[in-house]
Each structure stands twice: as structure tokens, then as C-alpha cells.
Amino acid sequence: MTTAGGAQDQAQRSRLVSRRTLLVGGAAALAVGAAGTEIGNLATSGSTVTSSSTPPDVDLMEEHGVLKRVLLIYQEALRRLDGQQPPPVDAIHDGALIIHDFIEGFHEPLEEGYVFPRLRSAGQLTGTIDTLLLQHARGRERTQIILAGATAQGMATSSTRQQVAGAMTAFIAMYEPHEAREDTVVFPAFRALLTTEQLDGMAATFADLQRRQFGPAAFAAMVRHVATIEQSLGIYELDQFTPPAVAP
């Protein structure tokens, strides 16, 4: 018998799968779900964005910046949990939603649909790509644990707090080296395989996909959202992280 909570979790997983089913073959992209339909349409009919769009590897690195800032949100939440302070439930949940919607539901499908296949076709970094794909899957599992547990009712129990804390800890430990390897090895290798014209075309496609899925100025809006969470935790001001001068 399926419980109401189990049905809800299954529906969440189904939505996530439908948004991530991105397959690219040659010049054609085919995906399942509304967001995937947009990807397929753009891949076959072209993009309306000009070639002045941010290069695709730079665009992916900027999106990694959003991911890094959510990792900092998780780290602050863990610090409070370790210090027996009230858990910042809203900040944890909102951060996990950004990961779910923007990173797992958009950024990673771009990697899986455009970057990784190109490298595989060239016979490059195949072992690394296998690991990155596995880590994407393990990250989604942790995000589901965080989303399910980061509620006022859930975080009121010690067992759920431990589950959420464990999921955040594992997510941070995996994604710090994950994104560092992509930024310094995977994306440069990918860029080297493309001509200027191919880079321009893919940049336009990435920009159009982001606009259609999240609206105009989507990246700026996502950064503002992250900043609002940081402000709620008191970790927004950059100068607070500057260490004091070393004593002479």
C-alpha cells in the first residue's frame, strides 16, 4: 500500500526524471516533459539568441558559482546544527530547491546532453564522465533527502536532523571536487573540441533554454535568490570572511 507521503515522493522523483531525460544525437536533441520539449525544439529549429551570448563553458562555470554559494549555505546550516542552534529550516529547504530546479533540473542536463557526449565521441575523459554521471545520481538522492526532511515538522526530530545533516555533508564533500574537476579539466577539454561557430551556436542554445525554462534574466534572478538566503543567515557580507592581519 502506498502512503500519501510515498506517493508525493514518487511524484517528485517522476518530475525530476522527466526534466532530466535529455538525449542528444548528432544535431538533434530529444527530451521528455515540457522543459525537454523546449530543448528538442531549439536543437532542431535553431536559437533566437545572438552569438554574443556567454560561451557555453563559461556559462556552466557561472552556474557552478550558484552551486558553490548553496554549498556555503549548507555549511552554515551544518555549523548551526553542530552548535545545537535552531536549524535554519527555510534556508536549507530553499537552498535545496535551487539545487533541485536549477542545478539538477537544468545545469546537469546541459552537461549530460551536450558536454559529456561530445567528449565521449572524441574518446576523451570517459572514466571521468562515468564518475561525474554517478555523482549526479548520488547528488539527486541526497537532495531528495534534504527536501523531504527540511520542514518544521521534520527538523523537530533528532533522527530527521541527522539524516538532513548527513545528506548535506555528503553533498558538499562530493560536489566540491566534482565542480572543481569540471571547471579545470572537463570544460576546457570540451571547449577545445569546438570551432568558434559551434561555440557561438551552443552558447545561443544554452541562453535560450535558460530563458525559456526560467524566464528573462534568469541567472541574475537566481543569484539574487541565493543572496536573499545568505542574508537570512548573516553570511552575505564578503568582508566578514576576511581574516585579521598577521601580527608582526
Question: Could you report the per-residue pLDDT of 134-168, keeping only the tens digit for each?
Answer: 999 999 999 999 999 999 999 999 999 999 999 99
Query: Which has the closest alpha carbon to 113: 219, 206, 212?
Result: 206
pLDDT in the model for residue 52: 53
User: Which tens digits make up the pLDDT trace of 170-214?
Assistant: 999 999 999 999 999 999 999 999 999 999 999 999 999 999 999
E strand or H helix at 28: strand 28-31
Percent of the chain surpassing pLDDT 90:
77
* Residue 236, pLDDT above cutoff 50: yes
pLDDT at 11: 45
pLDDT of residue 59: 96
Q: Does the pLDDT of residue 4 top 90, yes or no?
A: no
Distance from the Cα of residue 81 to its chain's centroid:
24
pLDDT, mean over the chain = 85
Tell me the three cell numbers of residue 19. Answer: 526534466
Under the banding of pLDDT at 50, 70 and 90, the label for residue 53 is confident
Taking a C-beta distance cutoff of 8 angstroms, is the pair 30, 160 a contact?
no
Query: Is the per-residue pLDDT at 9 higher than 60?
Result: no
pLDDT at 19: 40
> Which pLDDT belongs to residue 1?
42
**C-alpha 128: how far from chain center:** 18
Backbone angles phi, psi at 136, to 5 degrees: -55, -45
Close Cβ partners of 118 (under 8 Å, ≥ 6 residues apart): 190, 193, 194
Whole-structure pTM value: 0.81
pLDDT over threshold 60, residue 34:
no
Grid cell, residue 34, equals 515540457
